[in-house]
Amino acid sequence: MQESGPPLIRIRGLAKSYHRGEQDIAVLLDIDLDVMPGEFVALMGPSGSGKSTLLNLIAGIDKPSAGTIEIGGIDIATLGEGALADWRAANVGFIFQFYNLIPVLSAFENVELPLLLTGLSARQRRERVAQVLELVALSDRAEHLPSELSGGQQQRVAIARALVTDPTLIVADEPTGDLDRATGEEVLSLLEQLVDELGKTIVMVTHDPKAAARAGRMVHLEKGVLVDDLGP
Amino acid sequence: MFLFRLLLKNAFRHRLRTLLTMVGLVVAVSAYGLLRTIVDAWYAGAEASSSTRLITRSATSLTVPLPLAYAERLRAVDGVSRVSWSNWFGGIYITERNFFPQFAVDPATYLPLYPEFRLSEAERVAWQRDRKGVIVGARLAQKFGWKLGDNIPLRGTIYSGTWNFTLRGIYEGADASVDENQMLMHWGLINETVRARSGRGDYVGVFVVGIRDPNNAGVISERIDAQFRNSLAETLTETEKAFQLGFVSMSEAILVALQAVSYIIVIIIMAVMANTMAMTARERLAEYATLKALGFGPAFVVRLLFGESLLISLIGGLAGLLLTLPLAAAFANTAGSLFPVFRVSASTMALQLAAAFVVGVVAAAWPAWKMSRIDIVAGLRHVA
Amino acid sequence: MNALPLSYIARNLRVRRVTTVLTAAGMALVVYVFATVLMMTEGIRATLVATGQPDNMIVLRKGAGAEINSGISRQQAAIIETLPGIAHDAGGRALASKEPVVLNNLPKRGSGKPSNVTLRGTGAAGLALRPQVQLVQGRMFRPGGSEVIAGRAVAAGFQGVDLGATLRFGGRDWVVVGLFDAGRSGFDSELWADAEQLMAAFRRQAVSSVIVKLADADRFEDLRQRIEDDPRLGLEAKREERFYAEQSEALANFIRILGTALAVIFSIGAVVGATITMFGAVASRVGEIGTLRALGFRRSAVLAAFLGESLLLSLLGGVAGVTAALAMQAVDVSTTNFATFAELAFQFRMTPAIAVQSMLFALLMGFVGGFVPAWRAARLKIVDCLRAA
């Protein structure tokens, strides 16, 4: 983790609220947060704290009501929908609690999906996919459908998919939530590897303290505000 | 009652899908009804026949004329009460689209044979007196806005040239099945003109033979034909109904196609509904498993599915049936005199409801069977 | 290319097999009806077009419309024969055929129900004017005898018209001495006898029509004017091709309009089925949509994917429907032609144009059915999709 230099993520005055009929329900209130490149951050808090919402905003799949989110120097809060989609394709890798693999596509094809949004040729895509599958040790399962893989294997495919475009930022929403302890351990080790060896930045939402402990930094939210920011 | 309410709520849980399915049913059931009504209308002429009338025509075909002289010999046949004749005029009123049947007849002998044509005495006399006069049915007069005394020009195809007729009478049918789209003119006028042009006359298209006892129709027909066998113009005599059915059978290929097609639409909607019910069942797999776990037997689940399917199909079917009536009216207006009688029969309506019922049953059959056999554990674990 | 791959679209159809089959089957039936109706119309047209020769002219009484309504006296026929512009044979005789036409009511094979068959009086001249007619069994009728030859469709479709059988009309018995093949034209549905014999049997002085061969097909107008302008005659003349084309119009139009209206009504049912299916597909893949959008696929890609699925579904239905319609080509149909009041036998005829039209109709159904669900899928918000997953 780099100590000096500009933060990768720079959030100022971030707020998000939803309209429910007449009412405005505030989910996030005035968040300021910096994440340096190569950090492994865990977002924690009770249900309703706004941690998932914060993650969604960082990932660029939701728009804030107020504030700025600078990632790699670009304030993504100002990007239009199309530009945001393109930005995500190039800069963010996603890992979900329920893996979110496309059921009709093989492991290989699932990992290949983000590459379809780049200008790479079919051969180049094949090479990249093979590389990342090798990294997550699933090369021998490339042709299997998600239904033919265990939970842990599916999550590893998802991680491969998250890596394939070589994004700087990886966003993970309860990555071990659906896995047993042993498998969860494996996945967390893999994530640590991504940070230590590949220099990725990971922001992870989790409610599991053991998972959070593996991250370098724990950020606590409660009722939409940051209450704690604990480093190692 | 609880079951009914449950079914109703379930059916409209997925409002859009249920509504779409009903739209499909409405379209299918009304199309089915309309097609059946068209086929019925084709046969309407035969249905309106009188059992006391026979039609005698040339044995070769309807287009070969018979000598007028036969009339005397026909009258002499045992069992015959009255004889008249008729020639198909086949004229065009302005354009071919305005088609309606025109017959050249002998008023004095023809009208008594057709008591269902109700004509006032004054109009009958007026027509009798005017060689160039015609009478038309009420529906025809209404369609073209004709009034007594109007001049009606016809362009002849069989009898060439332009003919000018004067409207002397408007007849009404004794009941709804009578054809009020016809025009009747004087056979004498036509014959006169033909004789002047070609030197040959006194030919008729068909003889209309009235008989005293309908039960003797077959015997009398044979008697008549025997009279003229081996003569220059052999005859074929049949009941008016058989004669009309002869026309219907000429278009048999089309009628068979229409009937087949009316069932195809029902099959299409059956496929659509089966799809809907299959999707419904799949979504509710966990629920059905829960019900079974709670102790409701497989029969209950089956009843739920059949009940919901029938509820949707019968509501849609009823709506389709009701839509058929205005559709038929609109069709009758555009088809005009092609189908003089166009009514949605009671049996058609019954069949429409039956079709809706069958669709509802078939659509639910396979999902119901599958659901009744689900493994509770597998079902509960299933995330639809 | 920022679109989802075809394999994604196709495999999703395969995974929901029952739904795909049912929906495609509904569409296939609609396309089948649509294509079959067009094939019927085309079959009628083709049959009647094959009936007319480009260099023949047919003369009828003015305003008659059909041969059975028309009458031309011997004198009038004689005048026509002498007109310039008519081709002559090697012996110097005008290539003109004077033909009485009568309808004969015969029972059909199978149902036994009677229908009218065109009975044409003709001769050697008539045969010469119709090169598509070939005698395939037996022989031509002799001028003095009570003999007829039967077209292929009459022999096949009606009772008692086999080679050697006897028919009774005009107060006489007539023997079927030959069968002919008229190259799938209207003449296949006719019986031919000697013109003079026919006129004698029916006590007629006039023929129905006169058919002549033009010396120069381009000089048709000259001859037509000569005939129609002659006050002695009261006749009209048409190119044989045009005459027969007109004979098919009423029936072909009727079938086309009725059939197309039916197909459109049916298509509502099929489109409803497609819409239900696609809504179901979207609903079951909401999570997937969210994932794909998160990964960076645009709304347009989602729209295209679901619309593509609907189009592929309708493509399957269309191919199945057209294939089934193709099989109809083996079926022989005959019905009474409104214009002639006589039976006309024809085939269902597939043309590339009909196949294309049918496929486009199928795709249109798929588009209309799939558009709203695809649109709704594209309008979903990413976070809503992921939450619902």
B16:C279 CB<8 A: yes
How many CB atoms neighbour CB C21 within 10 A? 18
CA distance C283 to chain A (A): 15
C287:A90 CB<8 A: no
Q: What is the pLDDT of residues C128-140, one digit of tens each?
A: 999 999 999 999 9
Q: What is the pLDDT of residues A163-197, one digit of tens each?
A: 999 999 999 999 998 888 899 999 999 999 999 99
Question: Which one-letter amino acid corresponds to residue C361?
Answer: F
- SS3 call for A226: strand
pLDDT below 70 — which residues of chain B?
1, 335-337, 381-384
A61:C294 CB<8 A: yes
Report the residue from A85, A104, A109 with minimal CB separation from C298. Answer: A85
C268:B60 CB<8 A: no
Residue B370 confidence (pLDDT): 80
Strands C114-122 and C101-107: antiparallel
Q: With contacts defined as CB-CB under 8 Å, which chain C residues touch B271?
A: 22-23, 25-26, 29, 273
Q: With contacts defined as CB-CB under 8 Å, which chain A residues touch C382?
A: 61-62
Integer-rounded Cα radius of gyration of chain C: 29
Residue B382 confidence (pLDDT): 63
- Residue B278: CA count within 13 A, CB half-sphere: 22
Residue A139 confidence (pLDDT): 92
DSSP class of residue B338 equals G
The pTM assigned to this predicted structure is: 0.87
Residue A3 confidence (pLDDT): 57
Q: Which of C187, C202, C62 is nearest to C129 (CA)?
A: C187
Report the residue from B90, B230, B275 with minimal CB separation from C19. Answer: B275
DSSP class of residue B214 equals G
Q: With contacts defined as CB-CB under 8 Å, which chain C residues touch B279?
A: 19, 276-277, 280
Q: Evaluate whether B352 touches B360 at the Cβ level (below 8 Å).
A: no
What are the backbone angles phi and psi of residue C265, rounded to the nearest 5°?
Answer: -60, -45
Distances (CA, A) of C115 to B53, B283, C112, C158: 22, 57, 9, 9
C11:A100 CB<8 A: no
Q: Evaluate whether C174 touches C96 at the Cβ level (below 8 Å).
A: no
Report the residue from C4, C12, C383 with minimal CB separation from A61. Answer: C383
- Best C60, C232, C251, C276 residue to mutate vs chain B (most B CBs within 10 Å): C276
Q: With contacts defined as CB-CB under 8 Å, which chain C residues touch A89?
A: 295-296
- Residue B233: CA count within 13 A, CB half-sphere: 21
Q: Which of B165, B73, B75, B61 is nearest to B113 (CA)?
A: B75
Report the residue from A56, A98, A100 with minimal CB separation from C383. Answer: A56
Residue A41 confidence (pLDDT): 94
ipTM: 0.91
- What is the DSSP annotation of B259-271? HHHHHHHHHHHHH
- SS3 call for B117: strand
Q: Evaluate whether C33 touches C259 at the Cβ level (below 8 Å).
A: yes
CA distance A57 to chain C (A): 10
The CA distance from A93 to A70, in Å, is: 17
C203:B232 CB<8 A: yes
Strands B53-58 and A92-95: unpaired
Q: With contacts defined as CB-CB under 8 Å, which chain C residues touch A102?
A: 8, 288, 291-292
Residue C1 confidence (pLDDT): 45
CA distance C89 to chain B (A): 33
The CA distance from C189 to B341, in Å, is: 32
Instruction: Render the burial of C28-65: b for 16+ CB within 10 Å, e for the rest.
Output: bbbbbbbbbbbbbbbbbbbbbebbbbebbbbbbbebbb
The CA distance from C42 to C263, in Å, is: 17
Q: Evaluate whether C199 touches C149 at the Cβ level (below 8 Å).
A: no
Q: With contacts defined as CB-CB under 8 Å, which chain A residues touch C295?
A: 88-89, 94, 113-114, 117, 161
Q: With contacts defined as CB-CB under 8 Å, which chain C residues touch B276?
A: 276
Q: With contacts defined as CB-CB under 8 Å, which chain A residues touch C383?
A: 56, 61-62
Q: With contacts defined as CB-CB under 8 Å, which chain A residues touch C293?
A: 61, 85
Q: How many CB pairs under 8 A join B and C?
A: 149
The CA distance from B111 to B103, in Å, is: 12
Strand order in the sheet with C209-213: C96-99, C209-213, C56-61, C235-239
- 3-state SS of chain C is CCCCCHHHHHHHHHHCHHHHHHHHHHHHHHHHHHHHHHHHHHHHHHHHHCCCCCCEEEEEECCCCCHHHCCECHHHHHHHHHCCCECECCCCCECEEEECEEEEEEEECCCCCEEEEEEEEECHHHHHHCCCCEEEEECCCCCCCCEEEEEHHHHHHECCCCCCCEEEECCEEEEEEEEEECCCCHHHHEEEEEHHHHHHHCCCCCECEEEEEECCHHHHHHHHHHHHHCCCCCEEEEEHHHHHHHHHHHHHHHHHHHHHHHHHHHHHHHHHHHHHHHHHHHHHCHHHHHHHHHHCCCHHHHHHHHHHHHHHHHHHHHHHHHHHHHHHHHCEEEEEECCCCEEEEEECCCCHHHHHHHHHHHHHHHHHHHHHHHHHHHHCCHHHHHHHC
Report the chain A residue with the minimal C-alpha distance to residue C10.
A104
Integer-rounded Cα radius of gyration of chain A: 18
- SS3 call for B12: coil
A105:C288 CB<8 A: no
B21:C272 CB<8 A: yes
Q: With contacts defined as CB-CB under 8 Å, which chain C residues touch A86?
A: 296
Q: Evaluate whether C48 touches C244 at the Cβ level (below 8 Å).
A: yes
* Interface residue C8 vs chain A (CB under 8 A): yes
pLDDT below 50 — which residues of chain C?
1
CA distance A224 to chain C (A): 18
Q: Evaluate whether C321 touches C31 at the Cβ level (below 8 Å).
A: yes
Distances (CA, A) of A34 to A8, A206, C207: 8, 19, 105
Q: What is the pLDDT of residues A1-53, one digit of tens each?
A: 555 689 999 999 999 998 887 888 889 999 999 999 999 999 999 888 889 99
Against chain C, the chains showing at least 3 CB pairs within 8 Å are A, B
Integer-rounded Cα radius of gyration of chain B: 30
DSSP class of residue A30 equals E
Question: Nearest 5 degrees, angle CA C337-CA C339-CA C345?
Answer: 25
- Best C7, C13, C284, C295 residue to mutate vs chain A (most A CBs within 10 Å): C295
What are the backbone angles phi and psi of residue C107, rounded to the nearest 5°?
Answer: -80, 140
Q: With contacts defined as CB-CB under 8 Å, which chain C residues touch B90?
A: 69
Residues near C93 by Cβ (< 8 Å), separated by ≥ 6?
C125
Q: Which two tokens stand for residue B279?
A: 């999707």
A62:C297 CB<8 A: no
Q: With contacts defined as CB-CB under 8 Å, which chain B residues touch C276?
A: 17, 20-21, 272, 275-276, 279
Report the chain B residue with the minimal C-alpha distance to residue C172.
B230
Distances (CA, A) of B131 to B105, B187, B195: 11, 9, 16
Residue A232 confidence (pLDDT): 57
A89:C295 CB<8 A: yes
Q: Evaluate whether A115 touches A105 at the Cβ level (below 8 Å).
A: no
Q: Position of tokens 């209404």?
A: B142
Strands (E), chain B: 53-58, 66-67, 80-88, 102-105, 117-118, 133-137, 151-156, 161-173, 183-186, 203-204, 206-211, 235-239
Q: Which of B258, B338, B253 is nearest to C262 (CA)?
A: B258
Q: Position of tokens 């039976």?
A: C343
Q: Which of C189, C184, C125 is nearest to C153 (CA)?
A: C189
Report the chain A residue with the minimal C-alpha distance to residue C289.
A102
* Interface residue C2 vs chain A (CB under 8 A): yes
Residue B384 confidence (pLDDT): 44
Residue C84 confidence (pLDDT): 86
Report the residue from B17, B61, B271 with minimal CB separation from C25. Answer: B271
CA distance C156 to chain B (A): 16
Beta bridge partners of A128: none
Q: With contacts defined as CB-CB under 8 Å, which chain C residues touch A83?
A: none
Q: Within the 279-298 window of chain C, which residues sit less than 8 Å (CB to CB) from chain A?
A: 287-288, 290-298
* Interface residue C16 vs chain A (CB under 8 A): no
